[in-house]
Structure 1
Amino acid sequence: MAEKTGISGGGFLEGITTLVTKLAELAEKSEQLQRSGEFGASDKGLRGVYGFNVRIGGGAPGQPSGIPRVEPFGNIRQDHQTGKAVVHPIREPLVDVFEEGPDVLVVAELPGVDRKDITLELREDILTLHAEHEALKYHKEVLLPRRFTRRQMHTNCRNGVLEIRLTAQEERRS
């Protein structure tokens, strides 16, 4: 079971909500805004990381373009029972999905891990990535714009940036 730690400062989530609203207004004037931060959360050695992207245009799969989207990442989430912000040991990485004609490129930021630390699972139109290196743990499920097979997936990881290219054509094996 994942350990989580409460963060004091009652207005933390309210402040984030206000900030996100203001950033959405600013996003109307630009293509992309990004904000992130890191802080110590407890005496248990967990570090809180929270960030978000606000994007306009090129909507996510199933969303119309031109609608502002706020995409959070990190390991701080709201506990649904207490309403407090909690730090989880598993971070949600920043992930971008780009449609390039019939192909799809998924880019994930996984600082501190190498390709050997990453596990990928592809089931139709859902890509699940998990990475673990020493104390760093990442997990994310990504909804793809259409279905792909494992044969259509090609990966490259350099300096903690994972690129997953899903090609329209399946590779033929001889």
Structure 2
Amino acid sequence: MLARAVIGPLLLLVGVYLYLNRGETLSPGEMIGYFWPSLFVIPLSLFFHWLYFSVLERRGSGLLIPGGVLFTVGVFCQIAMLLDNWAYIWPGFILAPALGLFEFFWFGGRNKYLLIPINILTVLSLMFFVLFSLGALFNRFVLGKPLLAILFILAGALLMVAGRRRRA
């Protein structure tokens, strides 16, 4: 059971990374450097969830808050480590407490006032994800190409021509 649940996904991650690494050799220190979220943070979050669902038999619902936060942070950190995109992944850290609180809301007493910070943090995180993702796409495909220069030239020429027509 342990091999299926823990070691299997770890081997899958290592294999995907090595395939994407294109043959470069990695030392054990570099492997731990790339997979520290999957080795340390995500298992700790799963431990909190296991405590709540198995050992405490759904009595310690407060364990779900750090479990959800650590799981979300672990996933976002692992994505950022593998793809080296820390500049775009940081809104996931705002989403992490929202997901931890949502787990507490869902499995806890369903206190409706928890939905206020959950919704605020979720909307804020999604807004930053969209803004920074669209900004990165705009910078890569518009500002990096001569398309923006052509648009400025056309706009300037149009303004100059439109101004002369009115004077005549």
Question: Higher helix fraction: Structure 1 or Structure 2?
Answer: 2
Question: Higher strand fraction: Structure 1 or Structure 2?
Answer: 1
Q: Is the TM value for this pair above 0.5?
A: no
Structure 1 length-normalised TM: 0.28
Structure 2 length-normalised TM: 0.29
The structure having more radius of gyration, on CA atoms, is 2
